[in-house]
């Protein structure tokens, strides 16, 4: 590893089975020119993602990394998040890395894991629109917007909001010009062909259908977080 890379701020992106690929690939694309990044897991074995054809390969184990400047927890479909809400070993690693991090961040339902680990206590945060009630059930003041920046906590909404988050952090740490250049180079200029990327845009009928499809897992998440977090 070059000395130049060694001097860059270290980002630890936490991986786990079922992780939503775009949750971490979006910000990672924005981070790549600016930060030194670790993809972290308990082992170096490949982990599954939300896309059957795509596996994620960790670059370091938790035990190999003592400190990160920026902790990033991506999300996953609720059934995978519910499993991790009960995983004492996983939550302990979040607490350990978060204790020394300059910024503690998440994309999508990753904020539920931060909250369960006690890392969002007293902070405003967001999540995927369908998971905000689980976040609120943990006593977190929820804000429904793409990126919520509260002191050294930065949380992003669902999936594609990770790109907005990535550019937000680049601007914060490297400056506006660096963020603009990054945005230009990845040609991030969204102009979706349809307007259904939020409950407001999708309308009540489609939103109700989407909410019903995840209702059982959301209800299970609320039940889980009503119990003390494992230590």
Q: 108, 103, 100: which is closest to 75 by C-alpha?
A: 108
Q: How many CB atoms are closer than 10 A to CB 11?
A: 25
Q: How many CB atoms are closer than 10 A to CB 44?
A: 12
Cα 209 to Cα 116: distance, rounded to the nearest angstrom? 28
Query: Which positions ≥6 away from 91 have C-beta within 8 Å?
Result: 84, 113, 116, 117, 229, 230
Q: Which of 15, 19, 108, 134 is catalytic?
A: 108
90-107 burial, b at 16+ Cβ within 10 Å, e below that, comes to bbebbebbbeebebbbbb
Cα 98 to Cα 15: distance, rounded to the nearest angstrom? 15
**Is 86 annotated in the active site?**
no
Judged on CB neighbours under 10 Å (0-12, 13-18, 19+), 47 is middle
For the annotated catalytic residues, the residue numbers are 108
């Amino acid at each position: 590893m070059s000395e130049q890379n060694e001097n860059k701020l270290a980002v630890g992106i936490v991986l786990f089975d079922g992780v939503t690929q775009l949750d971490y690939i979006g910000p990672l694309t924005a981070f790549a020119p600016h930060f030194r990044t670790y993809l972290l897991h308990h082992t170096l074995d490949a982990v599954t993602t939300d896309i059957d054809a795509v596996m994620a390969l960790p670059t370091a184990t938790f035990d190999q990394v003592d400190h990160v400047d920026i902790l990033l927890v991506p999300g996953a479909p609720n059934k995978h998040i519910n499993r991790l809400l009960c995983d004492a070993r996983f939550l302990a690693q979040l607490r350990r890395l978060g204790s020394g991090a300059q910024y503690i961040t998440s994309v999508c339902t990753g904020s539920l894991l931060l909250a369960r680990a006690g890392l969002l206590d007293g902070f405003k945060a967001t999540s995927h629109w369908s998971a905000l009630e689980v976040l609120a059930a943990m006593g977190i003041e929820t804000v429904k917007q793409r990126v919520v920046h509260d002191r050294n906590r930065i949380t992003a909404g669902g999936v594609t909001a990770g790109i907005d988050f990535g550019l937000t952090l680049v601007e914060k740490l490297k400056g506006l010009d660096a963020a603009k250049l990054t945005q230009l180079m990845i040609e991030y200029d969204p102009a979706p062909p349809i307007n259904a990327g939020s409950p407001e845009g999708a309308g009540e009928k489609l939103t109700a259908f989407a909410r019903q499809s995840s209702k059982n897992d959301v209800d299970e998440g609320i039940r889980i977080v009503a119990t003390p977090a494992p230590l």
